[in-house]
Structure 1
C-alpha cells in the first residue's frame, strides 16, 4: 500500500500498529554553518520565490538545509531523494528524502534508513 493510501495520522498508527509517544530524544550538538550557506539561504528568502509550490519548497529550502547538515555526517550516511522504500506489502512509497546508513558496499547501495521526510499531501494530515 503506498504512503498516499493512508488518510490520517490516527488511522495510519492503528493500521500499522505503531505506538505513539512524544519525547525529546535529540540532543543538541555544536554545528558549524558555512557563510556561503547562510548567504545563499538569505538571498533565496529575500529575492527568490521559494514557497509558491511544494516542489519549490523542497528544492529551495528543505533540500539545501538537509544537505548542509548531511555534509558533516557524510562518511556515515547517504542522503537519498525519491528512493523507493518498501517495508512490506502494506507500506511502500517514495519519501521525498531519506537519510540512510552508508553501506560498506558503496554509496549507491541503499542501506538502513534512519530518517524519512515524507510530504503530507493533505492539510489535515
Structure 2
C-alpha cells in the first residue's frame, strides 16, 4: 500500500511505537504510549483510529499491526517535503542543508556514495 494521506506528528510518534513492537495488543500500545509519550489512553485510541482510517495501521481483535512499513512512510514524507518546500527539486533541498552548514563530512561522503550507487544501478 502506498500512503496517500499526510501524517501528523502524533501519527508519526504512534507509528514509531508500533513498528518495533508489532503485533501488539492495543492495551499494551496504550501502556507504551503512556510510558514513552505521556499520552492518556484516549489520546492513543484517537490517534490509533485515525491511522486505521488512513490505512496505515490495522486494529483487529484488539491487536495492532502496521499495514505500511517505515521505509514507505519515509519515502512519502520525503516526497511531500520536496514538493511542499522545494518545488520538487532535490538539488534545492540539498543546497538548503549545505548552506546551513548542517552536513558533516561523513554525511557528505554517504550522500556521494548513494549518488554513485544510484548512477550505477539505473
Q: TM-score, normalised by structure 1?
A: 0.23
Q: Which structure would you say has the larger Rg?
A: 2
| Structure holding more helix per residue | 2
The two structures have a TM-score, normalised by structure 2, of: 0.24
* More strand per residue: 1
